[in-house]
Structure 1
Amino acid sequence: MESARRKTSQEKVSAKVKSAAEDRVKVFCRIKPVPNDESCLKVRSHTEVSLLPPETRASHHQQNGREIRHSFSYVFDEQASHKEVFDRVALPLVENLIRGKNGVIFAYGVTGSGKTFTMAGRPQDGGVVPRCLDVIFNSISSNLATKYVFLPDRINGFGIQSDSGAVMNGQHELHSGRSLRMQKNDTHFGQRIPDDTKIEGIINANSTYAVFVTYVEIYNNAVFDLLEDVSKDAIRLNKLQVKNIREDAYHNMYVHSVTEVEVKSTEEAFEVFSKGQKRKRMAMTILNPESSRSHSVFTIRLVQAPLYSQGESSLTYMKATHISQLSLVDLAGSERTKRTNNCGQRLREAGSINNSLMTLRTCLKVLRDNQLHKYRRLVPYRYSKMTLLFKRFFEGEGRVQMIVCVNPNVDEYAETVHVMKFSEMTQEVQTDFILPEVRKKHNLVSKEALREVEENWNGESDYSTNTNNDHAQMSPDLVMKRCIIFKEWQKMFHDFYNKFRDVEEEKSLAEHECFSWPTAVDQGVNKMIALRNRMVSYESKLKNMNKQIKEEEADTLSIKQELQY
């Protein structure tokens, strides 16, 4: 009996340790290829690397020139392919996405270490983003909902309309010329080799799915929509509207009024991604000819709704709809001014990038210290838009993983040391999944609504997306009355939705004006101060000139008097 109790106790401890290990932030290392004689990094195993200080710095090193070993969840050496990285890092999160769970992947490293290459890849060999899209559509293609059935409300939720309304929306988009059209001359599509991986066994045949994507960048601590429908001049002059980060009813952070594009295939999704890539702020620096000047966030949202027994969407049961998301974040690389020799705008950009990355480090450090010492210091998420946007992920609303890209060149040794220290600290952070009360209530409502659908549905519905329902048991007059009532309700819904959208747009414009007023006032005050200084300067000059005139008049008078004598 005693041994049985001891065994049970040991199993509980083992399960607790295993759970803690699973809750930790997983950090993966990917090494950029460089010639062997220029490398300061050596791969010891699939989970360990050693950092070798250059001879010129060995005497100043804190460990007397000895190598320093660092551990990771997994190490990808110089020969690792995009496929290997995706399968180990992103594929589990894609599976979680389909299961209804959230996730985020950060690409972190110094400038020129291969972050964008890891996330986007090449046309013929896709990185994390295109492979995520491939696997999602490979897995759910047979269960995709009719396009435009789900409508983004721009406040982190979705509305639903009937199939007939969806068809009308599609025709309107087609006639307005706003629908996606793949560019035939785009080599990204012509040369791209898709990933054929398919997740099986977890797709719910009694559910329908819709995929939405957004793409934003955080530039100088301001959020911009890379998919916003604006003129070419606005894009060329970088005059996109600043977006605000808000909190929804479930305390999730989101970008208000962001453009969400529904995509029905990998090709459509990848075209949207390419559109955003072309709008990203890039510039040439000494260390990187194509340096990202902002953090970019590409988010995939999966909407899942239950089906009736005859394959019709449960549109009147919006509470039973589930939304999950996967965010893929390409962080801008940290830069040191003495190495890049940046000045002017590039210097301001580098300062903003470094400040946001420092805020990320600070937030992770505070989280780790809170978990180790059991006290609750305030985590400074609001110091940066990037950390504020992913606040809920670090608090347990989804799985967090990081790909640390390392340039092992000996010239990058000092930067690599800082990257390794940050990686070690990040791995100590646990993202314990603690479901808030409001989310528990929402999940309970969703389960009750789903159970109600399954219990009450008998193959007929007054509000079905299928216009060919069998109404044999109803009188023609009753069918006609119900159709009229439904059409009137549908019209009222669309009118209300359009008014709601107009009000939200007006509110967004008003907020933008409110944010611009302080700047305008400051500019006006600066102009007044400048004018006042100029006036004071002119008054001083005028006073000096009057003094000189009086002195000259006195001299003239003196000369005249002398001439008279």
Structure 2
Amino acid sequence: MTMEHGEDCCVKVAVHARPLIGDEKLQGCKDCVTVVPGKPQVQIGTHSFTFDHVYGSSGTPSTAMFDECVAPLVEGLFQGYNATVLAYGQTGSGKTYTMGTACKEGTHVGIIPRAMAALFDKIEKLKNQVDFQLRVSFIEILKEEVRDLLDPATVTAGKVENGNGHTGKLSVPGKPPVQIREGSNGVITLSGSTEVHVTTQKEMTTCLEQGSLSRATGSTNMNNQSSHAIFTITLEQMRKADPIMASDGMPIEEMNDDYLCAKLHLVDLAGSERAKRTGSDGLRFKEGVHINRGLLALGNVISALGDEKKRKEGAHVPYRDSKLTRLLQDSLGGNSKTVMIACISPADINAEETLNTLKYANRARNIQNKPIVSLSSLASLETYQTCTYTFFIKLISFSP
């Protein structure tokens, strides 16, 4: 396997400011966020922040978010570049709405459903030249445990609490937990998670919907989504045989030796608010501590990567401090094109959380990633771990 050299590129950061909602208006809340017209700049109190994009309020319309931030990442998948979209912010700031993690047919179409549509549109255009294989996985991190949301061997608990203070899936006794592994090449993988092969957009959407229903939720004062969720699309592609005419006029097939495999991680993080804002206690409070610990670890990674002096000195980056940062190791400072979308509430009662979100996101703009393209020749394809059965048969057919 060979690697094409990549160029450093900064993590792109966009802010999405949702409008005041009904409950906030009833409480007499005022808008405390100002977007500078014509500039990607946000002001709150005496603080001012500049980002790559600002959507909502008096900024760019939210409808432009996918085309400007995510469409280039989907296009990059077909060139072999890994990509990540992270949604960060307090509960109720519009993360799940923006991402479209809990999409239903006929409702708002968020980033994930639009990414699916763009992916299949591109595949349809290239299907005569390239063989494609698609796989999806959907996991959540709850109390520092990785839970598989697509595991067919689990039981859906519906709306019945499972004894841990939240609703969701009940694990089958004796089933080994999902483990985070790091390969000899430094690539982070999940051992024991379910990967579903899909061939249509409807099949992929079904995986998203089923997994979203199984995601752990806990009812608090802020309707807290109590876990981090990562929906991953893996795109494998290999160019089809090119017909070449032999001396007798019969076509001879010759295969291109390039095989590409790229992943798109779509991440809906848990709410970043302070524990006292949620009104939770007991087990739910402890669950919130785990959430904040993961987000704190993520913040520490962002700080370490965003400090140019520390980066040049090769300072330690604390990826191993949480399961979340381990899984996002490639997304932050690694082999990925990454966009962070900071979702904020403009209500004055949320001013402190909104300011913290903007500070957190502002640090991420300094992170330098180095996206690279992985190329595999047919000779090495047999040992490539993510090779699918279809490609393996083709390899055998063309082996000397």
Q: Distance in 2 between matches of 1:50 and 1:231?
A: 46
Q: Give the structure 2 partner of residue 63 of structure 1.
A: none
Cα distance, 1:233–1:326 mapped onto 2, change above 3 Å: closer
Cα distance, 1:343–1:134 mapped onto 2, change above 3 Å: same
Cα drift, residue 211 of structure 1: 1.3
Q: Give the structure 2 partner of residue 106 of structure 1.
A: 86
Question: Identity over the aligned pairs, expressed in percent?
Answer: 29
Which secondary structure does the structure 1 equivalent of 2:76 belong to? helix
Q: Give the structure 2 partner of residue 38 of structure 1.
A: 30
Q: Give the structure 1 partner of residue 390 of structure 2.
A: none
Q: Distance in 2 between matches of 1:315 and 1:135?
A: 30
Mean CA deviation greater in 211-220 or 254-263: 254-263
Q: Distance in 2 between matches of 1:315 and 1:251?
A: 33
Q: Give the structure 1 partner of residue 67 of structure 2.
A: 87
Provide Cα deviations, 1:374-404, integer angstroms capped at 9, x if missing partner. 2122111011111101212323301111000
Q: Distance in 1 between matches of 2:192 and 2:308?
A: 34
Q: Distance in 2 between matches of 1:117 and 1:29?
A: 14
Structure 2 residue 271 is matched with structure 1 residue 341: no
Q: 1:75 aligns with which of 41, 48, 54?
A: 54
Q: Distance in 1 between matches of 2:230 and 2:258?
A: 28
Q: Distance in 2 between matches of 1:90 and 1:136?
A: 11
TM-score, structure 2 as length reference: 0.80
Provide Cα deviations, 1:107-150, integer angstroms capped at 9, x if missing partner. 00011111001011564331000000001111112555xxxxxx
| Code of the aligned partner of 2:41 | E
Structure 2 residue 232 is matched with structure 1 residue 299: yes
Provide Cα deviations, 1:244-283, integer angstroms capped at 9, x if missing partner. 0112343210111211111111111101100000000012
Q: 1:51 aligns with which of 31, 44, 68?
A: 44
Provide Cα deviations, 1:402-441, integer angstroms capped at 9, x if missing partner. 00000111011111221121122111221234x6xxx8xx
Q: Distance in 1 between matches of 2:332 and 2:311?
A: 18
> Considering only CA atoms, is the larger Rg found in Structure 1 or Structure 2?
1
The answer to whether the 8 A contact 1:82-1:126 is kept is: no
| Code of the aligned partner of 2:119 | I
The answer to whether the 8 A contact 1:47-1:74 is kept is: yes
The answer to whether the 8 A contact 1:82-1:118 is kept is: no
Q: Distance in 2 between matches of 1:292 and 1:225?
A: 17
Q: Distance in 1 between matches of 2:12 and 2:336?
A: 13
Which secondary structure does the structure 1 equivalent of 2:139 belong to? strand
| Code of the aligned partner of 1:296 | A
Q: Give the structure 1 partner of residue 386 of structure 2.
A: none
Cα drift, residue 83 of structure 1: 3.4
Which secondary structure does the structure 1 equivalent of 2:242 belong to? coil
Q: 1:25 aligns with which of 4, 11, 28?
A: 11
1:185-196 to 2 correspondence within 5 Å? none
Q: Give the structure 2 partner of residue 275 of structure 1.
A: 210
Structure 2 residue 193 is matched with structure 1 residue 258: yes
The answer to whether the 8 A contact 1:82-1:127 is kept is: no
Q: Give the structure 2 partner of residue 376 of structure 1.
A: 314
Q: Give the structure 1 partner of residue 132 of structure 2.
A: 209
Structure 2 residue 109 is matched with structure 1 residue 129: no
Q: Distance in 1 between matches of 2:312 and 2:141?
A: 33
Q: Distance in 2 between matches of 1:286 and 1:26?
A: 32
- Of structures 1 and 2, the one scoring higher in RCO (CA 8 A, sep 6+) is 2
Q: Distance in 2 between matches of 1:389 and 1:354?
A: 16
Which secondary structure does the structure 1 equivalent of 2:120 belong to? helix
Q: Distance in 2 between matches of 1:297 and 1:270?
A: 15
Structure 2 residue 179 is matched with structure 1 residue 244: yes
Provide Cα deviations, 1:274-329, integer angstroms capped at 9, x if missing partner. 000000001221122xx2110000011101012112599x9999x74221011000
Q: 1:141 aligns with which of 94, 116, 124?
A: 124
Between Structure 1 and Structure 2, the one with more helix by share is: 1
Which secondary structure does the structure 2 equivalent of 1:378 belong to? coil
Mean CA deviation greater in 328-337 or 369-378: 369-378
Q: Distance in 1 between matches of 2:14 and 2:378?
A: 36
The answer to whether the 8 A contact 1:105-1:327 is kept is: yes
Q: Distance in 1 between matches of 2:156 and 2:285?
A: 25
| Code of the aligned partner of 2:352 | A
Q: Distance in 2 between matches of 1:47 and 1:119?
A: 20
Cα drift, residue 94 of structure 1: 0.4
1:410-559 to 2 correspondence within 5 Å? 410-433=348-371, 443=375, 446=377
Cα distance, 1:216–1:37 mapped onto 2, change above 3 Å: closer
Q: Distance in 2 between matches of 1:413 and 1:210?
A: 45
Q: Give the structure 2 partner of residue 171 of structure 1.
A: none
Cα drift, residue 234 of structure 1: 7.0
Q: Distance in 2 between matches of 1:95 and 1:86?
A: 12
Q: Distance in 2 between matches of 1:233 and 1:397?
A: 35
Which secondary structure does the structure 2 equivalent of 1:361 belong to? helix
The answer to whether the 8 A contact 1:83-1:127 is kept is: no
Which secondary structure does the structure 1 equivalent of 2:213 belong to? helix
Cα drift, residue 217 of structure 1: 0.4
Which secondary structure does the structure 2 equivalent of 1:38 belong to? coil
Structure 2 residue 288 is matched with structure 1 residue 308: no
Cα distance, 1:231–1:220 mapped onto 2, change above 3 Å: closer
Unpaired stretches in structure 1, ≥5 consecutive residues: 1-18, 53-66, 145-204, 451-462, 466-484, 487-565
The answer to whether the 8 A contact 2:31-2:346 is kept is: yes
